[in-house]
A and B are shown apart, each in its own frame.
Chain A
Amino acid sequence: MASLSSKPALVTLRQVLSELRKQANSKKLAENQMARYILNQYRKHQTTDQQLCKAADEMHFKAKTYYDYLHFSRRYKEINSEFKGKGERSVDDTARMVGFKLPHDPK
């Protein structure tokens, strides 16, 4: 696979863009510098990524690695925040957990 317009490379592109959309601060991808840069690179290496005697598949491997980095650091944060201890529960939370209500709660 040498061309960056082949199917696996495009799948990777879609994955990277989706991760960027999930993580970046602004919601619009058109304003995202990184997304624009990656699209530019894809266009530049559209016909072949064999420049300067680089190994075949080099750009695609890079894109895949970057996707792995984005995806798994997000996964790590998600799992961590789901399971990390959040200190002692309040009386309120404990009551709600077992299906009770506090005396001053509205019915």
Chain B
Amino acid sequence: MLNPINVHCKMFSVINIIKKTNVINPQIFDAVKHRCYATHKRFYRRTDIVQNEKSWEITLDHRRLKTPNGRVLTVNTEPLARAIAAEWDAQVEYISQPTMHLTALCNTALDNPGKLNSHDIASYLVDFIATDTLLFYSEEEELKKLQEKKWGPVLEWFNKRFEVKQVVTKGLELPPIATNTRAVLARYFLSYDFPALNAMCFGIEALKSPILMLACVDRYLDPKEAVLLARLEEEFQVMRWGRVPWAHELNQAELTARVAASLIVIHSSSERHSAANKSQGDRNV
């Protein structure tokens, strides 16, 4: 006689085997195959970069990479251009554009589909401060303790760095933002050029927190830590209820990639220098 439990176990072991082979199989691994959007096949072999006076361009074979609006994609530093070229080189059979954040950020900065200027973005970001994740503490005791422990130092850093005094709130009420804080932050945001500001906006929307993004830009936190702090409540619940890879881990990976991409763009646009190697003669002087 067949033992029903045995059959059941067997069935699940079969499912497990199928699942494992699916992951290993390189053809199925190509996520773009099961996509819900129009894609292009990879139509180029090599990716490279060329320098054009002060800016850098990316080439796919011998064609220059262009933005969706048809302008040539130019960036102002070599590392950023190389990173974009590497991103295109990493595409396998199909070009998976939704995961190419660096290209997307540079495209948006050049094409400016929202017809925004730096002042629009700066005022949007200054208004965002009032709904910063870090300013809303939970009413639950245990979570609140965790938040105070993890968010406290970042808020302290923020107050010290910008010489402001920001208060936090409990519940749903918005915390008051001082006029001085708004002025200081607006001046800070406007000190960046448009591509950097656009990237900053992208990163802030991923983290839902301008303070965390500013901490990243100032190298106080790295992207991984910032995302962890932004998802603190989720992590707290995960500790209690268990982790689901296709929700929590997927979300974490996506947010970290977004924040890291925006940081790369911000840091590369704020350097724009032309470094020259010292020649032998200079060294003796």
Q: Please give the residue numbers on chain A whose beta carbons come within 8 Å of chain B beta carbons, in ascending order.
A: 20, 23-25, 32-34, 37, 41, 51-52, 55, 57-58, 61-62, 64-66, 68-69, 72-73, 75-87, 93, 96-99
B23 partner residues in chain A, CB cutoff 8 A: 82
A75 partner residues in chain B, CB cutoff 8 A: 249, 253
A65 partner residues in chain B, CB cutoff 8 A: 222-223, 260, 263-264, 267
Q: How far is the CA of A83 from the CA of B223 in the complex (A)?
A: 25
| A69 with B48: CB separation less than 8 A | no
- Interface residues of A, dominant DSSP: helix
Interface residue? B261 (CB, 8 A)? yes
Other A-B contacts than A73-B101, A97-B15, 8 sampled, CB-CB below 8 A, are: A23-B86, A33-B48, A34-B82, A34-B85, A65-B222, A69-B101, A72-B253, A79-B245
Sample of 18 A–B contacts (CB below 8 Å): A23-B86, A34-B83, A52-B273, A61-B219, A62-B264, A65-B223, A68-B222, A68-B257, A69-B261, A69-B264, A72-B253, A73-B261, A75-B253, A79-B253, A82-B23, A83-B245, A99-B11, A99-B14
A93 partner residues in chain B, CB cutoff 8 A: 18
Q: How far is the CA of A80 from the CA of B275 in the complex (A)?
A: 41
A23's closest neighbor in chain B, by CB?
B90
Q: How far is the CA of A98 from the CA of B15 in the complex (A)?
A: 8
Interface residue? B250 (CB, 8 A)? yes
| A99 with B10: CB separation less than 8 A | yes
Task: Pick the contact of B222: A37, A51, A61 (CB < 8 A).
Answer: A61
Q: How far is the CA of A64 from the CA of B30 in the complex (A)?
A: 27
Q: How far is the CA of A20 from the CA of B263 in the complex (A)?
A: 19
| A80 with B14: CB separation less than 8 A | no
Point out which of A20, A33, A76, A93 has the most chain B C-beta atoms below 10 A from its C-beta. Answer: A76
